[in-house]
Amino acid sequence: MSLIATDQTLSGSFDAFKESGPLKTGLPPSAYTDEKFWEAEKAKLFPASWVLVGFAHEMAKSGDTVPVTVGDSPLILVRNQDGSIKAFHNVCRHRCLKLVDSPQNVGRLLKCPYHAWAYGLDGALRSTPYFGGEEPNSVPEGFDPQEHGLKEVQCAVWYDWIFVNVSGDAQPFDEFVAPLKNRLDGLDFEKAKLVGVIDLGIVDTNWKFLMENFIEPYHVQFVHSSTTDQPLIDHYIVDDGHCQGSAVDLDDENEGGDGSGNTLAVSSRYLTLFPTFVFGRYFPDQMGVHLNIPVGPGKTLQRRAIYMTDGTELDTESAEKLKQLWIDVHKEDHEVCIRLQEGRKSTVADGGVLSTHWESSVRNFQEQVLEAVSK
Ligand code: FES
Ligand SMILES: [Fe+2]
C-alpha cells in the first residue's frame, strides 16, 4: 500500500504514522479533530466508497423517498413502482434546488416546489410547466427533457441495507461484500426478521473511533463486563483487506454468560466493511447492523437495526429487553469513544501505540483511511 505524502493538503504530520517500525502507532489526533482532514474525507473517502445510507424496510412503499447526505452531496433514495430502490442526486435539474428535504411518500412524481418540474420515480423528467413560454406544455427550442432527468447515483441493496457509491467507480458491489458474505456460515436472509431499529442519536466522537472500537476485541472484557461475558482470548482477529473485525467460536451456545439472558456470551462475528458498514452476528439466532453517519469531525449519528436470523417473532417484552441490552452495550462503547475524542485535545496526545496482536486490523483500517484521503 502506498501512503503518499498528504502534508500539503492536510494539516498535521503523518510521518510518524507512515514510518512506525515494528511497534505501530495510530493516526495522529488531527485525523480525528481537524476540519481539513474531515473535508478530505467528505471530498474523497466517502464519495469513492460504498457507503451504507439506510434500511430498505423504512421505505417499503412505492414513492417512499428518503434524503441522505454522503460527503457533502445531498442524495435521495426512492422506492420505485417495480419495487427497486434507486438513488439520485437530490438536485432539481432546472435551478439546482434541493428537491426533497424530509422523508416522505411522493406518490408517482418527485415534484420540485420551486417551478413545479416533475420527475418520475425512475428519475426521468416528466413535466416542465410553461418552461417555453405561455403554453403549459411548451419547451424552449433545443431542450430535450431526456437530457434533464435526475442524475442517478450507483446504488445497491443487500438484504435490508442500502448502499450508494457517489463516484460510480468503487469496486463492483459483489466484490465489496464478498469478504463478509464468505463469513456468514450459511446465514439465510430469507428467514431473518427485523426486531427493530434503535436510534442512538449523535455521538460526540469521530466516526473512525466507532469503527476502530468495533474492529478490535481488546476492549470487550473491560468495557462490556456487565453486558458480555466473552474472555478476550476467545476472540480471533479478522483482517481481510477492507473487511475487518473479530470473531468468537464457542463449542456450546448454552455455555457462558450468567444465565440471566441479560448478557452476551455466544459465538459471534464482529465484521466491518470499509469505511462505515458494521455487521454483528450472535449465534444462534441474532444479527445487527450499525448505520453510522459521520456528520462532523467530532460527531457521528448512529442507529442499529436488530434482526432474528431464524425468523423468530419476539413478543413486545422480549423485543424491548433485547433493544435495551443493545442500548446498554452501545452506551458503554460511546463512553470510551467520546473520551478517545476528548483525549485528542491534549497537547501530549499523539497516535498512541497499537497492540500488534489485537489492533493490527485497526492499523490496517487507518491505513485505508489515509490512503483514501490522499488520492
Ligand atoms: S428549481 Fe426546480 S423547478 Fe425550478
Ligand atoms: Fe464494544
Pocket of ligand 1 (CB under 6 A): 92, 94-95, 97, 112, 114-115, 117
Relative to the alpha carbon of 217, which ligand is closest? 2
Distance 159 CA to ligand 1 centre (A): 35
Q: Which CATH class is domain 51-165?
A: mainly beta
Handedness of CA 188, 189, 191, 193 (dihedral sign): positive
Distances (CA, A) of 275 to 119, 146, 167, 212, 364: 32, 35, 15, 11, 12
Inform me whether the pLDDT recorded for 6 exceeds 60: no
Q: If you take atom 4 of ligand 1, which residue's CA is the nearest one?
A: 115
The CATH number assigned to the domain with range 24-48+178-374 reads 3.90.380.10
Residue 265: pLDDT band with limits 50, 70, 90? low
Residue 7 confidence (pLDDT): 47
List of residues 6+ apart from 321 with CB closer than 8 A: 261, 262
Residues 212-223: tens digit of each pLDDT: 999 999 999 899
pTM to 2 decimals? 0.93
Residue 137: pLDDT band with limits 50, 70, 90? very high
Residue 20 confidence (pLDDT): 79
Distance 318 CA to ligand 2 centre (A): 22
Nearest Cα to Cα of residue 293 among 185, 213, 202: 202
| Domain edges within the chain | 24-48+178-374, 51-165
- What is the average per-residue pLDDT within 255-280? 75
Handedness of CA 104, 55, 200, 212 (dihedral sign): negative
Give the cell for residue 267: 459465538
DSSP states along 236-272: EEEEETTEEEEEE--S-TTSSS-SSSSSB-S-EEEEE
247 φ/ψ angles, rounded to the nearest 5 degrees = -150, 160
CA atoms of 278 and 340, how far apart (whole Å): 20
Contact 10, 37 (CB under 8 A): yes
Residues 302-315: tens digit of each pLDDT: 999 999 999 999 99
Residue 208 confidence (pLDDT): 98
Q: If you take atom 1 of ligand 1, which residue's CA is the nearest one?
A: 95
Residue 2 confidence (pLDDT): 40
Relative to the alpha carbon of 328, which ligand is closest? 2
Q: What angle do CA 192, 219, 178 make, to 5 degrees?
A: 40
